[in-house]
Amino acid sequence: MKRMMTILLLAALLLASCGNAQTGETTADPAETAAAQTETETESPLDKLPAGDFGGADYHMLGDVNSNWWIISLYSEEMTGEIINDTVYERNHYVEDLYNVTISHTETKQAGNDIKASVQSGTDEYDVVWERLNQLITPAQSGQLYNLYDYDGFAFDAPWWDNDSVDALTINGKVFFACNDINVHTMEGCSAMYFSKTLADINGLESPYTLVREGRWTLDKMAEMISVVIGDTNGNGARDQGDSFGLVTGIGQFLSLINGAGDQLVIRESTSDGDTFTLHLADENVIGITEKVCAILNDKDRTVIVNDDAWGYDSFYQDESLFYIMQLGSVIGIRENMETNFGILPFPMKDEAQGYYTTSMEATAQAMCIPISAQETDMIEMVTEALAVYSDQYLIDAYYDTTLKGKIARDEDTTEMLDILTGSRTFDYASVYGAWNVYNRFYPHVRKSGGSELASFAASIQDSFDSSVAKTIEEYRKLEG
């Protein structure tokens, strides 16, 4: 979304600068336009940060480490020559010097409990906390987190904040946690689709890159390509490792394909009484998408679910599967285990009429929050914003351009696909609000029954869903005022 908005803005500025000779409007002087453009290009948002001196105050971050596949980019002890580590080190020291603060960091596997303990004891222990999205609902509803909109210095519409997360996580005008560029897990937490170039070439398949560019990359096209490659390659008459499959993935990726096709299992709606959530499973569009997704994922000749058959990972690494769907953070593991060429794609659309690509954010992606026990609010606001601005200028380039594009991506086509993949993100409340048990009940049902009985399934969980939503909304209402 950030990159697309930038392109659209530049196009608008170019159109606005041109006068119309036929109507007598003034045309801008080319030299003045070029000078203004140069000045705009060289002016850094870092130069616009407000001044401040906090007398050596400690800015303490608490960071969750409950995963083995993401990169944590909050703190660095020293320069090591590794670009992510060194950029984080330089960023933190830049902000320390700018505001006369000391940045410190603690790792945890129980951030929710740590927040609760700090709030209940009244200790000003943590200034910001980074935790998984689906683990922040409880502290938010319990009144343990600040409303981030109360911080006037947070420029949520700026490129260093994940605008999609801010919008999706805002409930009744309040947002208690959101993603920004300080932590590259905002990138790592995107679901992603990979493909084997070897299998695509051997089978004479149309270039997936061409399909994406021409707006023809759809679920039907994906299914068509899968049908070409599958087969009993090892000739033993059994479905097992060594055969050719269309897709390797996990049970969580039913949702990624549905989100990529432009819909969600739970949506937020505004009513006269405020925001609420609606179970969207019985919607005809969701049913149609689910049927297409299940036709691929439930067919064992087409798809290997690694939760059932762990050897599926090797199937993709060894060019025995055309597609692989997992978190973007898993791309390093693919590169380390796969000797042949692979590419990265956005998720297929429902059909060509959809007209845009979007990717699903994992519920275990990290977001930032501020415990209400934190007291140095001015310092937190200015330091956090400065860290985010610096990260947008340098850290995202270090991660995205060097780690992904430079080390991981095999060609320029893949770098273009990465831009598309990460450009728009969907936060589905069915997974973010995990305590509602929507997705946890949805995927076992559709694995067994597909999408044909989805309306009756939705009816069977409607009361439970309504009760959970009502409780959530009531908890948020208690925080108003």
My answer on whether 299 and 377 are in the same domain is no
Percent of the chain with pLDDT over 90: 80
Task: Look up residue 222 and give its two tokens.
Answer: 């994906």
Tell whether 19 is covered by a domain: no
Percent of the chain with pLDDT over 70: 90
Please give the residue that has the higher pLDDT: either 10 or 418.
418
pTM of the model: 0.88
My answer on whether 224 and 311 are in the same domain is yes
My answer on whether 198 and 261 are in the same domain is yes
Tell whether 475 is covered by a domain: no
Q: What is the pLDDT of residue 414?
A: 85
Q: What is the pLDDT of residue 456?
A: 96
Q: What is the pLDDT of residue 18?
A: 38
Cα distance between residue 162 and residue 178, in whole Å: 7
pLDDT digits (tens, 9 = 90+) for 323-348: 999 999 888 889 889 999 999 999 99
Res. 228 pLDDT band, cuts 50 70 90: very high
Q: What is the pLDDT of residue 248?
A: 97
My answer on whether 154 and 54 are in the same domain is yes
My answer on whether 99 and 236 are in the same domain is no
Q: What is the pLDDT of residue 380?
A: 98
Is it the case that residue 206 has pLDDT exceeding 90? yes
Tell whether 43 is covered by a domain: no
Domain hosting 255: range is 191-360+422-465
Tell whether 30 is covered by a domain: no
Q: What is the pLDDT of residue 32?
A: 53
My answer on whether 228 and 320 are in the same domain is yes
My answer on whether 252 and 380 are in the same domain is no
Q: Number of folded domains in the chain?
A: 2
Res. 29 pLDDT band, cuts 50 70 90: low
CATH number of the domain at 74, please.
Answer: 3.40.190.10
My answer on whether 149 and 253 are in the same domain is no
Tell whether 413 is covered by a domain: no
My answer on whether 321 and 288 are in the same domain is yes
Is it the case that residue 68 has pLDDT exceeding 70? no
My answer on whether 178 and 229 are in the same domain is no
Tell whether 202 is covered by a domain: yes
My answer on whether 426 and 351 are in the same domain is yes
My answer on whether 152 and 201 are in the same domain is no
pLDDT digits (tens, 9 = 90+) for 421-457: 999 999 999 999 999 999 999 999 999 999 989 999 9
Tell whether 7 is covered by a domain: no
